[in-house]
Amino acid sequence: MNLQTDKIDLKNLSVTELEDLAEELVFKRFPGRQLFTWIHRHNVTEFSGMTDLSSEFRSLLADRYSVGRAEIVHVQASQIDRTRKLLLRLADGEQIETVWIPGSARNTICISSQVGCPLACAFCLTGTMKLRRDLAPGEIAEQIYSVKSVLPAGEDFQNIVLMGMGEPFLNYDNVIKGIGLLMSDYGLGIAQKRITVSTVGIVPGIYRLADSGLKIMLAVSLHAANDELRTRLVPANKKYPLVDLRPAMKYYTEQTGQRLTIEYCLIGGVNDSIECAKQLVTFVHDIPCKINLLAYNEAPGLPAEFKCPTQDSIDRFREYLYPRCPAVTIRQSKGADILAACGQLASRSATNIIEGEH
């Protein structure tokens, strides 16, 4: 288990910052790049194991700095679809969940941006935790390294989605820096187009990402295209209503030249009517996008009146959207048997996890 110290955690520092540090300590910049590679490509946390660094540099680093690592408390494997969920304990004892999701062509890692979440979306278990704290850049990147360390031989990942615990745009700076750590050629070198950031519609964050010059993908969790219903499901809609959200989404597509993804969680008898579908068609008019439909995942602690929609309801909704909307898919949730599906992540559920799986 990691213990908090007063030492600076180097996992949070960029290549340039580590080069600056190396120049300060040993008057050379190149060892900083080597240090970054040890941390972010090889997941080495002990300076003694960084064998191509000089003994002088390693000694100076050990005196003043550390490299954090999350403790893998549990790994759960779905008996249905091979999804794996990791419970990670951070240096201060807080816990987060991260999920590896297998696909027919591409595997995906779903990572968290905060411990808990302040937004309290009605259909999401994470929101019941409230916000504990933001994740640091290194803690965001660390989730990928932890997953890679437990994957069976021959398994890997192709995509990363920030759709786990928390709202990424309420931790914008750390999220962007964490993504930068993952994209660096001195680390894993993950391509921008393989990374998707999901937001419930934090308008300032959408504009910031649009103007950042980054080409990472954006997903907006919409779930309703009228303010009354959306505010019931996503309370943040009171602060960022649809009249403000829509131009921000359109601006993102114009500024980046990329279409965005709209996530729409279908809740039986709540937002799965044809009238709701009509409102969605009107809302996305002239916004380059694809729409992902997913069925609500029931979980203990969520409203009892919320139910998974019927397959007929899902099909009717999709059939109304397409071809009125150019790209519509039904996303199959995975990992529901281990509470790893969309909206089910909450580290407090760890108390119910059977030990001995990792």
Active site residue 342: yes
Burial letters 137-176, b for 16+ CB under 10 A, else e: bbbbbbbbbbbeeeeeeeeebebbbbbbbbbbbbbbebbb
CATH tag for 71-352 (out of 3.20.20.70, 3.40.630.30, 3.40.50.1980, 3.30.1490.270): 3.20.20.70
**How many CB atoms are closer than 10 A to CB 300?**
10
**How many CB atoms are closer than 10 A to CB 273?**
14
Residues 6+ apart with CB under 8 A from 179: 140, 195, 197, 214, 216
- Torsion angles phi and psi, residue 284, rounded to 5: -90, 0
What does the pLDDT read at residue 304? Answer: 86
* CB-CB contact of 77 with 338 (8 Å): yes
Dihedral angle computed from the Cα positions of residues 163, 341, 287 and 232, in that order, rounded to the nearest 10 degrees: -90
pLDDT tens across 41-78, in order?
A: 999 999 999 999 999 999 999 999 999 999 999 999 98
What does the pLDDT read at residue 342? Answer: 57
Catalytic residue among 24, 46, 97, 117: 97
| C-alpha–C-alpha distance, residues 134 and 341, integer Å | 22
- Torsion angles phi and psi, residue 186, rounded to 5: -85, -5
Low-confidence residues in the chain, pLDDT < 70: 1-5, 333-358
Residue listed under structure tokens 């990942």: 157
| C-alpha–C-alpha distance, residues 340 and 353, integer Å | 12
What does the pLDDT read at residue 333? Answer: 65
Beta bridge partners of 77: 84
* CB-CB contact of 90 with 331 (8 Å): no
Catalytic residue among 110, 124, 342, 355: 342
Q: What DSSP line would sit under 107-145, residue for residue?
A: -EEE--SEEE-SS--TT-SGGGG-EEEEPPHHHHHHHHH
Active site residue 124: no
What does the pLDDT read at residue 31? Answer: 98
Look up residue 70 and give its amino acid: A
| C-alpha–C-alpha distance, residues 265 and 250, integer Å | 21
Look up residue 324 and give its amino acid: R
What does the pLDDT read at residue 339? Answer: 55
Q: CA of 293: how far to CAs of 10, 117, 270, in Å?
A: 40, 23, 14
| C-alpha–C-alpha distance, residues 67 and 285, integer Å | 48
Token digits for 340?
């790893």
Q: In 3D, which of 150, 157, 145 has the Cα closest to residue 103?
A: 157
Q: In 3D, which of 99, 106, 197, 83 has the Cα closest to residue 146?
A: 99
CATH 3.30.1370.60 fits 8-66, yes or no: no
| C-alpha–C-alpha distance, residues 114 and 134, integer Å | 4
Beta bridge partners of 134: 114
Beta bridge partners of 291: 262, 328
| C-alpha–C-alpha distance, residues 127 and 342, integer Å | 12
Domain extent listing, the chain: 8-66, 71-352
What does the pLDDT read at residue 337? Answer: 65
Total residues found in the chain within this entry? 358
- Torsion angles phi and psi, residue 24, rounded to 5: -70, -40
What does the pLDDT read at residue 346? Answer: 57
